[in-house]
Amino acid sequence: MSESANASLGIWLVRAESEALAAAVQTQLGGTLYRPWLNPSVTQKQQFAAVYRQHAQWVMMAASGIAVRFLDGLAQDKHSDPALVVLDEAGRYAVSLLAGHEGGANRLAYRVANAVGAVPVVTTATEALKPFVVGIGCRKGVSAERIEAAVQQALGGRRLNDVREVATIDLKADEPGLVAFCARHDVPLRVFARDTVAARAWVTQPSDWVRQNVGLDGVCEPCALIACTRGKLVVPKMALDGVAVAVVEDKWMEA
């Protein structure tokens, strides 16, 4: 076990093969690593039960079935249970498994996904049934207010409360105005690596400025479409005061 500044997060590995992935998560999110195989005299399930409530949130690197078995008998109430996100050992999916809303597992799933390039999986109805994904690209230093004005313009008569997530490129992952906008409206921010966006350069309006400064034809449209692969681009790129926005609608009933 190794400590870090963020004692509220526990990172549980079931096998040594997950060490590199765990290190990547810890580098981005902090947390305490647990290596239960170092204590073979006690089962992993028993070890996990002993420390389960020592952290407010957990990332478990395992199959979801293992996580379910480990949690058997531990969960008590959604208002007090620690959040738990399952990350498969290949780093493909970050699944909000327990305490999605109240415990913050839904938001943690996005943070884990952004840290390792995984897909966040959220199944709570209030999030999963929201139909819109908003892609955003912006100039450096743009304020949250300018971003909100651009988003509202692009949404038109659509409700901001119906936006499931905001998608952008990794270069903007820590852009203060964008982070503040998402926090203000409690919308998760999904981040894609530049190479991922470059491989799917789906744009209706190539931008010379973005090409010069980022090396891509665009950001908002491809990010929104990558985030919602079965969706339809219902609002192509709209620009306002240094912010570019595109809106994709999830067409799950037509998939």
Q: Which of 16-30, 137-151, 200-214 has the lowest mean pLDDT?
A: 200-214
Share of the chain above pLDDT 90, in %: 82
Answer whether residue 31 shows pLDDT above 90. Answer: yes
pLDDT for res 3: 41
Calculate mean pLDDT across residues 179-204. 93
Q: What pLDDT score was predicted for residue 255?
A: 53
241: phi > 0 → left, psi -120 to 50 → alpha, else beta; which?
left
Average pLDDT across the chain, whole number: 93
Query: What integer is the mean pLDDT of 86-96?
Result: 97
- CATH fold of the domain at 9-126: Rossmann fold (3.40.50)
User: Which of 4-8, 65-69, 192-196, 247-251 comes out lowest in average pLDDT?
Assistant: 4-8
What pLDDT, on the 0 to 100 scale, is given for residue 1? 39
Positions of CATH 3.30.420.180 in the chain? 130-254
User: Would residue 242 be called left, alpha or beta, if left means φ above 0 and alpha means ψ between -120 and 50 degrees?
Assistant: left
Average pLDDT in the 202-212 region? 84
Strand partners of residue 28:
none
Cα gap 165→100, rounded to integer Å: 15
pLDDT over 60 at 6, yes or no: no
* Integer angstrom CA distances of residue 183 from 107, 163, 165, 254: 11, 13, 11, 31
Summarize pLDDT for 99-111 with one digit per residue, the tens: 998 889 999 999 9
The tokens of 200 are what?
């799917």
Q: What is the pLDDT of residue 127?
A: 87
Say which residue the tokens 């491989």 belong to.
199
> In this predicted model, what pLDDT tens digit does every residue of 64-78 receive, in sequence order?
999 999 999 999 988
Name the pLDDT band for 253 (thresholds 50, 70, 90). low
Report, as an integer, the average pLDDT of 3-19.
82
Q: Is 104 left (phi over 0), alpha (psi -120 to 50) or beta?
A: left
- Write down the pLDDT at residue 5: 39
Q: Which CATH architecture has domain 130-254?
A: 2-Layer Sandwich (3.30)
Q: What is the pLDDT of residues 154-186, one digit of tens each?
A: 999 999 999 999 999 999 999 999 999 999 999
Domain with CATH 3.40.50.11220 in the chain: 9-126
